[in-house]
């Protein structure tokens, strides 16, 4: 064996042990207890996400208003759709002014705004599973997460360390229901089947709402990122109604299911199992009927 092979093998071992190496083989159940060195100890916290939303235990809070969006939500955002081996993620291009792409109100304290950072997806291999949050034990075909950062913090690292640092808008999606913005994503996603590849896509963030007049009712609770390092910094806002309209979604979902992943051959079933609610309370801005 020559030196190059030995060095290569050595580097291979190091790469395979990098902290960011994780997968969904156990639906996240092994992220904090694999081995003795607790690679992601925060994933064993007491305020983790996702959760099962038990609608019989949800507390209606009449003081919770609607979410409101800044003007940037209604402008086109040029960005890249990337297969990062764990999901397909859309991020605005560097240099794009995102200062108006924020939301406020709802469960958010007065004077605080959360700015859009990225959106990504969780999906399954069957249409009967795929979402991370469940409602009364039932999964939807997919879940989209729009990740936002509290504009009071300068960096994502700083925000991850604060209880009010991040907010995620969660959207359920059913195979029968399809939002319009997925036309461009569906067209482009076939180009990025391989891990660590990306392709340009432009979206209007408001399109996820404007075609869905029922996108008002939401559940909210305090939780975490659903991927390592599982920081408990997230105000979750999970919309009750799945996204609706009928084009392009089946094609998009079938393409997602062929994406090549990290830690497994395909990015499939990239959802974490529901975590214990513990002493937390899930609130809603609507009365359960």
Q: Which stretches of the chain bind Zn ion, using CB under 5 A?
A: 145
- In angstroms, the CA 59 to CA 286 distance is 9
Catalytic residue among 86, 120, 122, 145: 86
Residue among 241, 225, 223, 240 at smallest CA distance from 284: 240
Secondary structure of residue 173 in the 3-state scheme? strand
Asked if 39 contacts 221 with a C-beta cutoff of 8 angstroms, the reply is: no
Please report, in angstroms and rounded to a whole number, the separation of the first and last CA atoms in the chain: 70
Q: Is 86 a catalytic residue?
A: yes
Q: Which is nearer to Zn ion, 130 or 181 (CB)?
A: 130
- In angstroms, the CA 282 to CA 16 distance is 38
Q: Measured from the CB of residue 225, what is the shortest distance to Zn ion in angstroms?
A: 8
Q: Is 277 left (phi over 0), alpha (psi -120 to 50) or beta?
A: alpha
Residue nearest to Zn ion (CB): 145
Q: Measured from the CB of residue 231, what is the shortest distance to Zn ion in angstroms?
A: 13
Q: Measured from the CB of residue 275, what is the shortest distance to Zn ion in angstroms?
A: 13
Task: State both tokens at 27.
Answer: 């639906």
β partners of residue 121: 144
Burial (CB count within 10 angstroms: exposed 0-12, middle 13-18, buried 19+), residue 9: exposed
Q: Which is nearer to Zn ion, 115 or 145 (CB)?
A: 145
Q: Measured from the CB of residue 235, what is the shortest distance to Zn ion in angstroms?
A: 14
Residues acting as catalytic residues: 86
């Amino acid at each position: 064996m020559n030196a190059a092979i030995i060095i290569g093998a050595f580097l291979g071992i190091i790469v395979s042990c990098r902290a960011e190496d994780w997968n969904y083989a156990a639906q996240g159940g092994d992220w904090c207890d694999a081995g003795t060195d607790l690679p992601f100890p925060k994933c064993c916290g007491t305020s983790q996400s996702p959760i099962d939303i038990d609608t019989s235990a949800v507390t209606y809070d009449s003081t919770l208003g609607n979410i409101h969006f800044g003007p940037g939500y209604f402008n086109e955002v040029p960005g890249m759709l990337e297969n990062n081996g764990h999901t397909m993620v859309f991020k605005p291009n560097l240099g794009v002014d995102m200062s108006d792409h924020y939301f406020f109100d709802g469960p958010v304290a007065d004077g605080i705004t959360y700015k859009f950072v990225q959106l990504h997806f969780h999906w399954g291999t069957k249409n009967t599973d795929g979402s991370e949050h469940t409602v009364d034990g039932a999964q939807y075909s997919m879940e989209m997460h729009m990740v936002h950062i509290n504009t009071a913090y300068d960096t994502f690292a700083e925000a991850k360390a604060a209880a009010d640092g991040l907010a995620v808008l969660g959207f359920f999606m059913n195979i029968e229901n399809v939002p319009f913005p997925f036309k461009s994503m569906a067209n482009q996603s076939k180009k990025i089947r391989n891990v660590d590849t990306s392709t340009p896509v432009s979206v209007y963030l408001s399109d996820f709402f404007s075609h869905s007049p029922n996108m008002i009712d939401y559940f909210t609770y305090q939780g975490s990122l659903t991927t390592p390092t599982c920081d408990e910094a997230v105000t979750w806002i999970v919309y009750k109604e799945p996204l609706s309209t009928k084009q392009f979604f089946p094609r998009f979902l079938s393409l997602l299911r062929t994406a090549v992943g990290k830690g497994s051959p395909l990015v499939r079933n990239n959802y974490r199992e529901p975590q214990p609610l513990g002493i937390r309370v899930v609130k809603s801005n609507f009365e359960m009927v």
